[in-house]
């Protein structure tokens, strides 16, 4: 059954076609439903990564943004829909993570703006709110790109307006048409954005917005919200490290099981049975092997193993104590950095850092506040705001050091009375190049200008492992190969780290440069690091070569070429 007939099957249900207006409490119910359905399909959205790199995080960012939005209203008894919508928008803005999360918060901001001073919302006002949501989101992006979440928002508004023009006056009918429009728009995104077509995926942000709205419609149609439509994903796209982002009470152990089923696996029943044991369920499949991931309370830590054994042959089991992992993370956070002191009137710099080693380097260069984050763990607007709001100066520069954090940093600027500038560094090497231009006592605008200029003086390389097979930019990549990105563009695929690093350096015209700085990640051995550095020294004997512990996850090396 296609999505259109799926919803039309419920059209004769008169009970769920009413009411023709909703208040703040009904909006709260719909937001919760959209949140649950987005969470159910979080990993499906995460898997829609353009490049085959292990940092698909759009689903996580949108989910955490919506969780913050719902937390703002969770205990609210407000019935005025205008006030409720503004609370949702405020929560989404403060919790916004990543570009998709910030744009989602802007959609809610526009939606709320249209509902000012209204007690309830009817179909006509609903359409007006969708239109204003679209307008606000587009205005919030300096250079809107079609084929993204913005396009899907635009098509949702268009379909809603057409419905009203065709005398559709029931809220649920308009929502139904909007969901159908969102689905069609998402499927069309590769035609508008060539890189999506190359990668063979649809836009992740647009898909997340679709799931959010579809969850609201499923709630009105009394359809389940806990079982995803697409419940199995390639093994290579399973981002198990991301499940540490939102550990819920009672999730004491993480269990991961690889198994070969005795026969065809009933995925719907598999999910339903697992949901009785725990949460954060993921299922991946590749070459006949299934991988199941779940978080469970202590007393049920062996239940998934016993259950899976009844379905087939287990080939591998991993059980991790989540409480111990969280405590270890907290201990790492509590090891204080020696951050640069700042006096009233001086310029303070806030830097986003993906690893403890990189944080130490930023601190040694004069950064006054560090925000943990990077690939797969984009910080929220609130976290960035908190980093500088209590500093004893009203002059602040933010270095996002990741292209997916720039919008959240810019959103934080709108939330303060301090003079704050975002220097849009999209990588750690750019951020380090910028901080070298800091003069704490200098003219603010001059320092910001110098930092912006410094971004152009460094080339960035990143080395990681391909999560799927794909051909992009003329580079053929096979799952499991080492890949290299130069200034964010895929340029090389190789069968080992050393070859990928040397290929990257050649593509970046390193022979014309003077310095190579390597920051190694948490998942590469010292022996491998030393062997690679020796090969680089042999290839570039006249270059200054530095090696530092970066401590970043997922990326074996981040490389600065100057």
Q: What is the pLDDT of residues 328-378, one digit of tens each?
A: 655 555 456 789 899 999 999 999 999 999 999 999 999 999 999 877 689
Partner residues linked to 279 by β-bridges = 295
Q: Above pLDDT 70, what percent of the chain?
A: 89
Q: What is the pLDDT of residues 482-515, one digit of tens each?
A: 999 999 999 999 999 999 999 999 999 999 999 9
Range of the domain at 204: 3-220
* Residue from 106, 150, 157 nearest 129 by CA: 157
Least confident of 65-69, 310-314, 466-470, 507-511: 466-470
Same domain for 150 and 40?
yes
Please say if the pLDDT value at position 542 is more than 90. Answer: yes
Binning pLDDT at 50, 70 and 90, where does residue 402 land?
very high
Same domain for 484 and 409?
no
Number of domains in the chain: 4
Is 298 domain-assigned? yes
Identify whether 109 is preceded by a cis peptide bond (ω within 30 of 0): no
Please say if the pLDDT value at position 52 is more than 80. Answer: no
Same domain for 309 and 405?
no
Least confident of 51-60, 163-172, 184-193, 379-388: 51-60
Q: What is the pLDDT of residues 74-130, one digit of tens each?
A: 999 999 999 999 999 999 999 999 999 999 999 999 999 999 989 999 999 999 999
Q: What does the DSSP assignment read for 235-255?
A: GGG--GGGGGGGPPTT--EEE
Please say if the pLDDT value at position 434 is more than 90. Answer: yes
Same domain for 123 and 216?
yes
Same domain for 509 and 447?
no
- CATH number for the domain including 267? 3.30.70.260
222: left (phi over 0), alpha (psi -120 to 50) or beta: left
- CATH number for the domain including 551? 3.30.1180
Q: What pLDDT was estimated at residue 269?
A: 87
Give pTM, 2 decimals. 0.81
Residue 310 to residue 314: CA distance in whole angstroms: 10
Same domain for 31 and 161?
yes
Q: What pLDDT was estimated at residue 334?
A: 47
Two tokens at 248?
A: 């819920």
Is 226 domain-assigned? no
Same domain for 153 and 270?
no
Q: What pLDDT was estimated at residue 245?
A: 47
Binning pLDDT at 50, 70 and 90, where does residue 321 land?
confident
Residue 128 to residue 114: CA distance in whole angstroms: 7
Please say if the pLDDT value at position 10 is more than 70. Answer: no
Binning pLDDT at 50, 70 and 90, where does residue 472 land?
confident
CA 213 from centroid of its chain's CA atoms: 19
- Taking residues 460-464, what's their average pLDDT? 95
Q: What is the pLDDT of residues 525-539, one digit of tens each?
A: 899 999 999 999 999
Binning pLDDT at 50, 70 and 90, where does residue 7 land?
low
Is 464 domain-assigned? yes
Binning pLDDT at 50, 70 and 90, where does residue 271 land?
confident
- Strand ranges for 468-524 from DSSP E: 470-472, 475-477, 482-486, 489-494, 515-520
Where b means 16+ CB within 10 Å and e means fewer, 266-303 reads ebeebbebbeebbbbbbbbbbeeebbbbbbbeeebbeb
Same domain for 199 and 258?
no
Residue 244 to residue 192: CA distance in whole angstroms: 35
Q: What pLDDT was estimated at residue 425?
A: 97
381: left (phi over 0), alpha (psi -120 to 50) or beta: alpha
Q: Among 199-203, 324-328, 344-348, which range has the highest average pLDDT?
A: 344-348
- CATH number for the domain including 350? 3.40.50.10440
Same domain for 413 and 475?
no
Last residue of a domain, one of 201, 220, 239: 220
């Amino acid at each position: 059954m296609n999505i259109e007939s799926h919803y039309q099957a419920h059209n004769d249900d008169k009970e769920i076609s009413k009411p023709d207006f909703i208040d703040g409490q009904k909006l709260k119910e719909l937001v919760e439903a959209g949140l649950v359905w987005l969470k159910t399909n979080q990993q499906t959205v995460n898997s829609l990564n353009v490049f085959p790199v292990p940092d698909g995080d759009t689903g996580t960012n949108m989910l955490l943004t919506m969780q913050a939005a719902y937390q703002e209203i969770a205990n609210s008894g407000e019935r005025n829909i205008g006030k409720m919508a503004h609370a949702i928008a405020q929560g989404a803005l403060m919790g916004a993570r990543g570009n998709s999360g910030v744009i989602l918060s802007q959609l809610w901001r526009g939606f709320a703006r249209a509902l000012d001073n209204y007690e309830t919302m009817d179909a006509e006002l609903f359409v007006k709110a969708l239109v204003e949501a679209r307008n606000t989101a587009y205005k919030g992006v300096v250079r809107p790109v079609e084929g993204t979440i913005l396009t899907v928002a635009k098509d949702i508004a268009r379909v809603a307006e057409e419905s009203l023009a065709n005398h559709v006056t029931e809220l649920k009918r308009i929502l139904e048409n909007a969901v159908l429009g969102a689905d069609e728009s998402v499927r069309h995104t590769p035609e508008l954005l060539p890189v999506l077509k190359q990668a063979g995926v649809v836009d992740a942000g647009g898909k997340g917005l679709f799931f959010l709205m579809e969850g609201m419609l499923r709630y009105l149609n009394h359809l389940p919200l806990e079982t995803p439509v697409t419940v199995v994903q390639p093994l290579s796209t399973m981002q198990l490290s991301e499940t540490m982002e939102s550990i819920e009470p009672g999730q004491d152990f993480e269990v991961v099981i690889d198994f070969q089923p005795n026969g065809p696996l009933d995925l719907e029943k598999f999910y339903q049975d697992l949901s009785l044991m725990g949460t954060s369920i993921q299922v991946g499949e590749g070459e006949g092997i299934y991988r199941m991931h779940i978080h469970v309370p202590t007393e049920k830590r062996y239940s998934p193993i016993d259950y899976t054994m009844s379905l087939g042959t287990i080939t591998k089991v991993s059980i991790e104590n989540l409480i111990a992992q969280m405590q270890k993370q907290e201990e790492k956070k509590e090891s204080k950095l020696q951050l640069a002191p700042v006096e009233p009137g001086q310029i303070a710099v806030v830097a986003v850092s993906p690893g403890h080693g990189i944080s130490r380097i930023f601190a040694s260069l004069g950064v006054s506040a560090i925000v943990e984050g990077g690939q797969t763990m984009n910080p929220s607007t609130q976290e960035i705001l908190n980093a500088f709001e209590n500093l004893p100066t009203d002059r602040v520069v933010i270095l996002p050091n990741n292209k997916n954090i720039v919008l959240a940093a810019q959103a934080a600027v709108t939330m303060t009375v301090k003079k704050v500038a975002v220097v849009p560094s999209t990588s750690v090497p750019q951020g380090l190049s910028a901080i070298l231009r800091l003069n704490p006592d200098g003219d603010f605008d001059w320092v910001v200008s110098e930092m912006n200029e410094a971004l152009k003086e460094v080339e960035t390389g990143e080395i990681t492992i391909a999560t799927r097979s794909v051909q992009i930019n003329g580079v053929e990549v096979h799952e499991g190969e080492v890949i290299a990105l130069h200034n964010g563009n895929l340029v090389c695929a190789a069968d080992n780290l050393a070859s990928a690093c040397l290929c990257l350096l050649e593509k970046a015209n390193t022979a014309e440069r003077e310095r190579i700085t390597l920051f190694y990640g948490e998942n590469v051995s010292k022996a491998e690091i030393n062997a690679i550095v020796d090969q680089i020294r042999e290839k570039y004997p006249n270059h200054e070569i530095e090696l530092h512990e970066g401590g970043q996850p997922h990326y074996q090396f981040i490389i600065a070429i100057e």
